[in-house]
Structure 1
Amino acid sequence: MAADTELYEGDKVEVTVGPIAHGGHCVARHEGQVIFVRHALPGERVVVEITELHKAYLRGDCVEVLQASPDRITPRCPYAHANGCGGCDLQHVASPAQREWKAAVVREQLVRLGRLGEAELDALGVTVAELPGGDEGWRTRVRYRADALGRPGLLKHRSNEVVAIGRCRIAHPEIQALDVLERRWPDTDLIDVVKPSSAPAQLVQDPPQRIVERAAGHDFTISAGGFWQVHPAAADTLVEAVLELLDPRPGEHAWDLYGGAGLFAAALADRVGVTGAVTLVESARDGVAAARGNLAALGVRVVEATVERALHRDRRPKERLPHADVVVLDPPRTGAGAAVVKAITAAGPRAVAYVACDPAALGRDVRTFREQGWKLTALRAYDCFPQTHHVECVALLNPGE
């Protein structure tokens, strides 16, 4: 970085904002330096305060808008601003434009990381669908933090600093009605709250209590602190997309990889019936225990192992997974990885439904599928996390001819 253009934390510069980038920010340039800017929109002229210095790029917050985008709105949350709460990236963006923002990110990641062409993406029709319920009051799981004075709040962006708040607008109304934010918490720095689909909102206690979530026509008993989709409509929406794209048939064998408490396995078992078979693979012990209890009556085999280990060719015969006609792949945010993708394609299923919570991970794994001769034949994207940059995708992959 040239000395005459060097910037430091706290410096303010005027820039014209460029394209959207993955992570809830846009790209701008100042004297040849790349700046990832939060709280801005493409095409705007803004003043950016530099917040982080890196060798190849800078990070910054928009602190003044000189020329606004027509998609800009005044954030309804008073804590959604520079140096404020880091939970919502897109409070300043009108709801339809938020979904366009997320669709642009999905496209960019599939082009840059997945190596898809624009014509292929146009054929897929990348759009982001709105879920029922609006863009506030949807979050059924909230982790508040307490500062040194015991005041509850949420963290700043890329920081462990707590912003004390009086209300979180995206929290479920029953969570907002609890007195969590009115109390002091001198003896803890984490306050987890959950609103199950079958019970009132409640604090998650140290001895983890069990809750029941209902989706896809089944009840799922899980730990109150265990993983479940945070949007009330997300579980049913994703199951519906997986079943529609994968089209599991009676008598088929299915794998549910990274299966958690058994959401997709239960839906698969309903479709393949008693003449078919479903195998769920999960490594987390609480997830395995939940899956075994939730799926016992459906005859699903639950394998406690990492997906990498479960798919390894050197496993003893009795440990090996049976043949799969269809696969549901629902990896963590880091994605499945090349080894898992190659093992799945080598197993020869007719189709894979990939449920992705991160478009960058999806892009990397789609590239590996394509390198193995497979095709991305359908893609659905859903706004499961309104007001944030996060987007959930369901991709259908099939072996090439």
Structure 2
Amino acid sequence: MTDAAPAAAAPSTGEQTGPPTAELTIGRPAHGGHFVARHEGRVVFVRHALPGERVRVRFTDTADDASFWRADVVEVLEGSPHRVDHVWPVADALRAAARGRSAVGGAEFGHIDLAEQRRLKSAVVEEQLSRLGGTDRAVVVEPAPGESEDGLGWRTRAAFAVDAAGRLAMHLHRSHEVLPVQEMPLAVGPVNALRLWTLDLSGMERVDVAVPSGGGEPLVLLVPAPGTTPKRVGTVAASIDGASVGVLDPASGQVQRLKGRTWLQESVLGTDYRVTGAGFWQIHRGAPEALVSAVLDGLVPAPGERVADLYAGAGLFTVPMARAVGPDGAVLSVEGSAGTSRDARRNLHGQGHVSIVQGRVDAVLGRRTDRLDIVLLDPPRAGAGKKVVRQIAAARPRAVGYVSCDPASFARDLGYFRAAGWTLDSLRVFDLYPHTHHLEIFARLLPPAA
């Protein structure tokens, strides 16, 4: 039930020595949801802006020894034609500034019209490919299948904080401070239909909600604060109607059932998957279909081929590839999370030609010397890294498929592949996180010519 999107960065601990505010002219977009400006020769990464705008900003990180500063827009002096009313008031930096606080995180592009969001994301991917991957490539960002015109109502997973009064809340950007919230416009309808903001959630530290992509009963996971009694947890669980409820241990990922079931059934292109508790799953309701289709169309696994699915999760890609190569083929699934690997075993039960290994990808690949026909990898935000790229290249596959949620780590790894003689053959970029800076990439890489 974890996001593909990262947690907010920790608050700065550097001493704030710079000016509190300044007027800046905004330049190009930068990776991470920022826009580049300069103040007295120093680079400033500004959030909640748009290229070409003249804005007043409040500096949030101004340590003298920092290589750059950070700032938030508090007033627009000369606006962009692509600026619109923010889709979520509590995430609107201008409204927040008028109240003397920061905005909540999670919708940092909500002030930008949707078409321009995608153009900005294209520019960021192009810049990362050129700077880190040594590749110049025009990029078009595609919407997810069935995307709404306003880009709302797509999140099937949402994580909430709880404030000191027991109210549903979310963290302010790069802060431990929380703000009470009600409806979350990026979430699918069943998340908001639970009306968790009407409940007394006292004693809880966090509340996670997941809904199957195709609809169905939600699963609510409670994370109690230290010292909360089982009786209090039970009272909160009993107040939640229309959902299964469990208790999540964040350290182990284990879920204790309180009512209903501790897993969700997902369905993608006619295939059912079981995803337990906090197990990873793509959060946009259309993401699984979009990515599975891209992988199959891009790699075209054939009967009898040998395939490795690295960072395989619950088997989103392993299942259709196992079907494509058939019993005469062989599929290796490698996943680091023990709980998610157990889901993969359930989802691939009875598939004798599939080997499911729980462990580190580099360790598993280091024990294998056989050749592979196809390698697919979907690493975490940090990417695969040089060692894994070298191991994949040594397996001499006819093609590598790379799924990534981070253009910087993808471009860096692409550079490693290119140094080994590989080429970027095809690239698709999907806007699976509207109103945020996040995106998803699928690339097909081809080996050096024999």
Quick check: TM above 0.5? Answer: yes
* Among 419, 425, 428, the residue aligned to 1:380: 428
The aligned residue for residue 26 of structure 1 is 35
For the residues of structure 2 that align with 1:159 and 1:322, how far apart are their CA atoms?
48
The aligned residue for residue 311 of structure 1 is 365
For the residues of structure 1 that align with 2:172 and 2:46, how far apart are their CA atoms?
15
Retained in 1: the 8 A contact 2:369–2:395?
Answer: no
Q: What SS is found at the alignment partner of 2:26?
A: strand
The aligned residue for residue 322 of structure 2 is 269
* Among 381, 388, 391, the residue aligned to 1:343: 391
Stretches of structure 1 lacking an aligned partner (at least 5 in a row): 1-5
Shift of 1:224: 2.5
Q: Does residue 139 of structure 1 match 2:155? A: yes
Q: Does residue 105 of structure 1 match 2:124? A: yes
For the residues of structure 2 that align with 1:161 and 1:384, how far apart are their CA atoms?
28
Shift of 1:9: 6.2
Shift of the 321–295 alpha-carbon distance from structure 1 to 2, 3 Å rule, reads farther
For the residues of structure 1 that align with 2:85 and 2:164, how far apart are their CA atoms?
31
For the residues of structure 1 that align with 2:179 and 2:129, how far apart are their CA atoms?
35
365-374 vs 146-155, which moves further: 146-155
Retained in 2: the 8 A contact 1:216–1:267?
Answer: no
> What is the CA deviation profile of residues 16-69 of structure 1, one whole-angstrom value per residue up to 9, with x for unaligned ones?
001000111100001101111011000000001101124111110111111111
Q: What SS is found at the alignment partner of 2:343?
A: helix
Q: Does residue 96 of structure 1 match 2:112? A: no
The aligned residue for residue 380 of structure 2 is 332
> What is the CA deviation profile of residues 76-115 of structure 1, one whole-angstrom value per residue up to 9, with x for unaligned ones?
2111223111111100100000111111111111111112
Q: Does residue 357 of structure 1 match 2:374? A: no
For the residues of structure 1 that align with 2:422 and 2:121, how far apart are their CA atoms?
25
The aligned residue for residue 60 of structure 1 is 71
For the residues of structure 2 that align with 1:69 and 1:346, how far apart are their CA atoms?
49
Q: Tell me the amino acid that sits aligned with residue 89 of structure 2.
A: P
Q: Does residue 199 of structure 1 match 2:253? A: no
Retained in 2: the 8 A contact 1:279–1:321?
Answer: no
Retained in 2: the 8 A contact 1:326–1:350?
Answer: yes
User: Percent identity between the aligned chains?
Assistant: 43
The aligned residue for residue 78 of structure 1 is 89
> What is the CA deviation profile of residues 287-314 of structure 1, one whole-angstrom value per residue up to 9, with x for unaligned ones?
11111111023332101221010011xx
For the residues of structure 2 that align with 1:92 and 1:8, how far apart are their CA atoms?
30
For the residues of structure 2 that align with 1:267 and 1:322, how far apart are their CA atoms?
22
Retained in 2: the 8 A contact 1:323–1:347?
Answer: yes
Retained in 1: the 8 A contact 2:279–2:340?
Answer: yes
For the residues of structure 1 that align with 2:358 and 2:105, how far apart are their CA atoms?
36
Q: What SS is found at the alignment partner of 2:317?
A: helix
* Among 300, 308, 313, the residue aligned to 1:247: 300
Stretches of structure 2 lacking an aligned partner (at least 5 in a row): 1-14, 94-101, 222-245, 248-255
Q: Tell me the amino acid that sits aligned with residue 337 of structure 1.
A: G
The aligned residue for residue 143 of structure 2 is 130
Retained in 1: the 8 A contact 2:219–2:263?
Answer: no
Retained in 1: the 8 A contact 2:431–2:439?
Answer: yes
The aligned residue for residue 3 of structure 1 is none
For the residues of structure 1 that align with 2:435 and 2:142, how far apart are their CA atoms?
14
Q: What SS is found at the alignment partner of 2:133?
A: coil
Q: Which runs of 4+ in 1 moved over 6 A?
A: none
Shift of 1:217: 2.5
Give runs of aligned pairs for residues 34-53 of structure 1, distance below 5 A: 34-53=43-62
Shift of 1:321: 6.6
Retained in 1: the 8 A contact 2:31–2:124?
Answer: yes
Paired residues, what number? 384
For the residues of structure 1 that align with 2:370 and 2:273, how far apart are their CA atoms?
25
Shift of 1:172: 0.9
Cα RMSD, aligned residues only: 1.5
For the residues of structure 1 that align with 2:211 and 2:370, how far apart are their CA atoms?
37
* Among 167, 174, 177, the residue aligned to 1:151: 167
The aligned residue for residue 115 of structure 1 is 134
Q: What SS is found at the alignment partner of 1:200?
A: coil
* Among 249, 272, 286, the residue aligned to 1:233: 286
Shift of 1:8: 3.9
Retained in 1: the 8 A contact 2:129–2:411?
Answer: yes
Q: What SS is found at the alignment partner of 1:113?
A: helix
